[in-house]
Amino acid sequence: MDTQLLSARSPADLDAAAGLLLRGGLVAFPTETVYGLGALALEPLAVRAIYAAKGRAATNPLIVHVLGEDEARPLCARWPIEAQELVTRFWPGPLTLVLPRTDRVPDEVTGGGPTVAVRAPSHPAARQLLARVRVPLAAPSANRSEHVSPTTARHVLRDLNGRIDAVLDGGRCPVGIESTVVGLTSAGPRLLRAGAVPRSALEELLGEVPDAAPAGSIAASPGQQKRHYAPAALVRLADATALPRIAADLPGPVGAVIRGDIALPQEVVSVRLPENPAGYARDLYAALRELEDRGCTSICIESVPASPEWDAIRDRLTRAAA
């Protein structure tokens, strides 16, 4: 299959993307977090094609993207007060809610489970696409399974060219890491995946939002295996003082992701990221992909501060190094 490159700035291209989706096709599109691989969420065959293109385990459920609350509620069997509060405050935006599902949602989307994940993205291209198709779109991150999430159309093509119908190019994703996933199915709200909305912002609204039960239990997010968000290279985390020695010891070619001034062995290919968490998150996945593209088989990453505003980034780095 030829993968078309469409532009989110062109109304005709947006129409074409919507047309492909409505015929059951696969179209990658930008969201504020990362690019998603979209298909009609209520069409089992279209959803199955997502799993095939990504090489994703059929038991790992997908996030259903909607324009807003009105489109989400028919998919959810309950809409507790916490859902109302979160949606009022954070939608459209990088927050995903996991709620009991209704029977409109096919098993293919939920991995056969009793819940559905819903999110209203804020990216204008995602919203224009949703407004055109007028039905919910299932969309995992548009990478090959277990690879780093894509933050540009070029990243999507690198993983999925020839395997999907089109990619809608809307430039670089402004947030750069995935949405926060909150479960509202059991006793109270649980953080299933740290992400772009910090835990502190959730807790201002809801009180304490503890982590989900450890992986393996039903409450946990199935996609939260230890190794995830990983580049193909071997990844090691180290603080600034240990980094030069570790870089020198790793099997090469070696890449490094740093934040400050660090003197590294000359043969190490380094990418320097912003010191602030928002800038770092925006550029991280592109940096990992760049080092991979430049042939690095090992990547050492300068560890990030232990403070809460780095939580989601630390989560991704720890998984990449697992």
Q: Interface with ligand TXA by CB under 6 A: which residues?
A: 31, 33-34, 36, 60-63, 94, 96, 98, 110, 113, 115-117, 119, 139-141, 178-179, 181, 192-193, 221-224
Measured from each CB, the residue nearest to ligand TXA is 223
Nearer to ligand TXA (CB atom), residue 217 or residue 241: 217
93 Cα distance to chain centroid: 13
Nearer to Mg ion (CB atom), residue 7 or residue 145: 145
CB 269 to ligand TXA: min, Å:
27
Nearer to Mg ion (CB atom), residue 46 or residue 142: 142
CB 223 to ligand TXA: min, Å:
2
Residue type present at position 232 = A
Q: Classify burial at 203, counting beta carbons within 10 Å of its beta carbon; exposed 0-12, middle 13-18, buried 19 or more.
A: middle
Residues 6 or more apart from 110 whose CB is under 8 A from it? 61, 62, 101, 116
DSSP 3-68: PEEEETT-HHHHHHHHHHHHTT--EEE--SSS-EEEEETT-HHHHHHHHHHHT--TTS--EEE-SS
Tokens 């090489």, residue located: 55
Binding footprint of Mg ion on the chain (CB under 5 A): 141
B/e letters for 275-306, b = 16+ CB within 10 Å, e = fewer, are eebeebbbbbbbbbbebbeeebebbbbbbbee
150 binds, options ligand TXA, Mg ion, none, Cβ within 5 to 8 A by partner type: none
**Rounded to 5 degrees, what angle do the CA atoms 309, 305, 176 make?**
50
Nearer to ligand TXA (CB atom), residue 220 or residue 264: 220
CB 193 to Mg ion: min, Å:
10
62 binds, options Mg ion, ligand TXA, none, Cβ within 5 to 8 A by partner type: ligand TXA
Nearer to ligand TXA (CB atom), residue 256 or residue 288: 288
Find out whether 225 and 212 touch, Cβ atoms under 8 Å.
Answer: no
CB 187 to ligand TXA: min, Å:
16
98 binds, options Mg ion, ligand TXA, none, Cβ within 5 to 8 A by partner type: ligand TXA
CB 229 to ligand TXA: min, Å:
9
CB 200 to ligand TXA: min, Å:
19
Nearer to ligand TXA (CB atom), residue 25 or residue 36: 36
66 binds, options Mg ion, ligand TXA, none, Cβ within 5 to 8 A by partner type: none
Number of H helices, E strands in the chain: 11, 14
298 binds, options ligand TXA, Mg ion, none, Cβ within 5 to 8 A by partner type: none
Residues 6 or more apart from 38 whose CB is under 8 A from it? 21, 26, 27, 28, 29, 65, 129, 137, 138, 139
CB 246 to ligand TXA: min, Å:
29
Nearer to ligand TXA (CB atom), residue 64 or residue 291: 64
CA distance 300 to 310: 18
